[in-house]
Structure 1
Amino acid sequence: MTVNSEPTPSSAGQPPARSRSANIRDVAKAAGVSHQTVSRVINGHPSLRESTRQRVLDAMEALQFRPNRAARSLVTSRSGMIGVLVTNGTYFGPASTRAAIESAASTAGYLVDTATLTSLEETAFKEALGRLVDHAVEGLIVLAPQEATLRQLVHLPVKLPMVTVHSTSAADDHGLSVDQVAGARLATRHLLELGHRSIAHVAGPDGWVESKERIRGFRTEMANWGLDSSRIVTGDWTSDSGFRIGQELLAADPPTAVFSSNDQMALGLTHACGDRGLRVPEDISIVGFDDVPDARHFAPPLTTVRQDFDELGRRCVAHLLTQLGVPVQSAPRTVVPELIVRQSAASPR
């Protein structure tokens, strides 16, 4: 008699059980050590034989085991996370520095958690900072170079290792920056050495550290040459404001040269000159600040001051890691800018 047997679960056409990822106990078994030893290897414990450490690392590689960051933070009480507090907006300088910070942090084995300030009010500052603290960041980089933000840092409700990105003050142990004063003096001196004596400065908005420092550099260099530095007009970093200011400056008694506090406003100035029938640099010279990627393609290519944002970002991370006890190579707190000479400035007629 033939008996029709029911298929067992294993033969009923069901897919095989999905293989799981290796865990710390699998690594321990493969390496012939305890799981505590594997944990010590993951967290860089110094009191381990090199042969044991290598055996564990080989097992991790063979099993394609990757330590879970959250689990590791429970063991070490360190999150491997850096908090970055940034100002709202898409300004070239802060955006470039932020990208450099993320790259340098990744190289050092850290993740970056970013909180954006929706305004400069104290409430917005505390909310953004609170979110970073809730995410257990180990340290903080403040990339919000407005004076109002920097004042609030004095009254931080929490104490974290911290780096601020702004012009260096002798009384500030946290600050790193590009030397804005030196950069403004380079731009102004270049125009003076070309023979200009009637120079206007288009400044950035009030309340920004960079605006204030570039004004100071412009005035300092003009004073060294015994010249008046009162012709300063305030913009808002946009090319639209540069265009509007250019129309005002050129309406009556135009200067022979303009130092713009950023390249975008310099672009607007160049547009305004064209509308007035003035040629750059034959009739009026223009120098910018930042060296945005498009500056070399302005018409004419823009002479400007280059800030090394990549280097600034690397130094921010290095100084923060030093405060966290991570051995890194020390670096100066101030990045020195350089003048990039192109075709937008020439001797006055």
Structure 2
Amino acid sequence: MAGRKATITDIAARAGVSKATVSRVLTGNAVVTPEKRDAVLTAMADLSYRPNLMAKGLAWGRTFTVGVLTPDLASPLYGLIMAGVEAELHGLGYQALFASGAFETETERRAIEHLVGRQADALIVLGGRLPGPDLVAAAGDLPLVTVLRGAPGQPAITLDNHHGARVATEHLITLGHRDIVHICGEAGQQDTEERLRGYRDAMTAAGLTPVAVPGGYHEDDGQRAVHLVAGNGIRCTAVVAANDQVAMGARLALAEHGSRVPEDVSLVGFDDLPSVRYAVPPLTTVRQPAREMGQAAARAVLGLLDGAEPDLPAFAAELVVRGSTAPPRA
């Protein structure tokens, strides 16, 4: 075999089966006994055989790729979701094609057109700003699953952001805080609106006045928001940040203004990124199971490709209490 690539004929001879049996194992479109299948797979491993994916795609009418659109390739949260998507797809014989929309509607539209042009078999879209009807139109006939956003008539992997922000705010109220500021997320994002609504509902239910300031989803957004609060003399003993990255920026700005967490100001994030448990102090936050959500999206979109009703598990937002929250000083 040295000097040339193994062929189906070589695999058949090694496994002691017909070439037709090898073909059935490779395409998966006919029943093969477990014994013969194992023999073929063992022979493929022994001979370092790699199937021709282009030929397999022509036989199946697929490219065995799934396009994945994310607002931000560098985002820790979306990175965890993408890792879940990639791991699940790889385990089922598919590859992910990633593209970034950069939180801009036209960039998102062009990215989807690119993924469609690359002949992806299906699409998974994470967050983003492109309106739902436009997203569906851009996807065309391709199966589509969204994560942390919705689109008309399309299956979605979602989290109850309203509930998450509400329980985070209620945690602070229970501790005795009354002057609680919310740093908002990226304008125009569905999760931003839901978290703001959850914060407001908790505040008004307690008879408190909501105070929300513009923010975003990055560390510098949190830093600027705290400078804005301090510069305008807004009384604040606790902060509900749009996400963990914003909370880390807010933490730095609070220190710059001489405020300690949690002695002077309590701080809550959202996402439960792996790094925040190592912050000083460890960050109280709302956990969303990002990797698991990515895995669920991959299973759902492959189910659509096979004509099955997608399984859409319900994911709950869970408050994780750590050292960054405490009762306000008397």
TM-score (norm 1): 0.84
Partner of 1:240: 220
Matched, 1:290 2:271: yes
Partner of 1:165: 147
Going from structure 1 to structure 2, the CA distance change for 1:247 and 1:308 (only over 3 Å counts) comes to same
Shift of residue 58, structure 1, vs aligned partner: 4.8
* SS of residue matched to 1:148: coil
Deviates more, 1:300-309 or 1:109-118: 109-118
* Contact persistence 1:182–1:217 (CA under 8 A): yes
State which of 128, 141, 150 in structure 1 corresponds to 2:124.
Answer: 141
Partner of 1:3: none
Partner of 2:79: 95
Q: How does 1:6-85 map to 2 (within 5 A)?
A: 19-31=3-15, 33-48=17-32, 52-85=36-69
Give the distance between the partners of 1:57 and 1:132, measured in 2 at CA: 32
For the pair shown, the structure with the greater C-alpha radius of gyration is 1
Same amino acid, percent of matched pairs: 38
Shift of residue 31, structure 1, vs aligned partner: 4.7
Q: How does 1:187-266 map to 2 (within 5 A)?
A: 187-229=168-210, 231-251=211-231, 252-266=233-247
Give the distance between the partners of 1:301 and 1:59, measured in 2 at CA: 52
Shift of residue 254, structure 1, vs aligned partner: 1.5
State which of 133, 156, 169 in structure 1 corresponds to 2:138.
Answer: 156
Give the distance between the partners of 2:297 and 2:239, measured in 1 at CA: 32
Give the distance between the partners of 1:61 and 1:264, measured in 2 at CA: 45
Going from structure 1 to structure 2, the CA distance change for 1:249 and 1:61 (only over 3 Å counts) comes to closer
Report how many residues are paired: 328
Shift of residue 84, structure 1, vs aligned partner: 0.7
Partner of 1:4: none
State which of 111, 120, 127 in structure 1 corresponds to 2:110.
Answer: 127
Partner of 1:11: none
Give the distance between the partners of 2:221 and 2:41, measured in 1 at CA: 58
Going from structure 1 to structure 2, the CA distance change for 1:149 and 1:20 (only over 3 Å counts) comes to farther
* Contact persistence 2:146–2:154 (CA under 8 A): no
* Contact persistence 1:167–1:179 (CA under 8 A): no
Going from structure 1 to structure 2, the CA distance change for 1:126 and 1:239 (only over 3 Å counts) comes to closer
- Which AA in structure 1 matches 2:114? R
- Which AA in structure 2 matches 1:146? G
Going from structure 1 to structure 2, the CA distance change for 1:60 and 1:191 (only over 3 Å counts) comes to same
* Contact persistence 1:280–1:345 (CA under 8 A): yes
* SS of residue matched to 1:147: coil
* Contact persistence 1:120–1:149 (CA under 8 A): no
Going from structure 1 to structure 2, the CA distance change for 1:269 and 1:126 (only over 3 Å counts) comes to closer
* Contact persistence 1:291–1:304 (CA under 8 A): yes
Going from structure 1 to structure 2, the CA distance change for 1:126 and 1:271 (only over 3 Å counts) comes to closer
Deviates more, 1:54-63 or 1:336-345: 54-63
Shift of residue 33, structure 1, vs aligned partner: 4.9
Going from structure 1 to structure 2, the CA distance change for 1:193 and 1:154 (only over 3 Å counts) comes to same
Unaligned runs of 5+ in 2: none
Matched, 1:339 2:319: yes
Going from structure 1 to structure 2, the CA distance change for 1:30 and 1:295 (only over 3 Å counts) comes to closer
* SS of residue matched to 2:158: strand
TM-score (norm 2): 0.89
Unaligned runs of 5+ in 1: 1-16
* SS of residue matched to 2:146: strand
Deviations 1:112-156 (A, max 9, x none): 11122356244x34432233223322111012x233354421322
Partner of 2:99: 115
Structure 1 residue ranges, 4+ long, deviating more than 6 angstroms after superposition: 326-329
Shift of residue 215, structure 1, vs aligned partner: 0.5
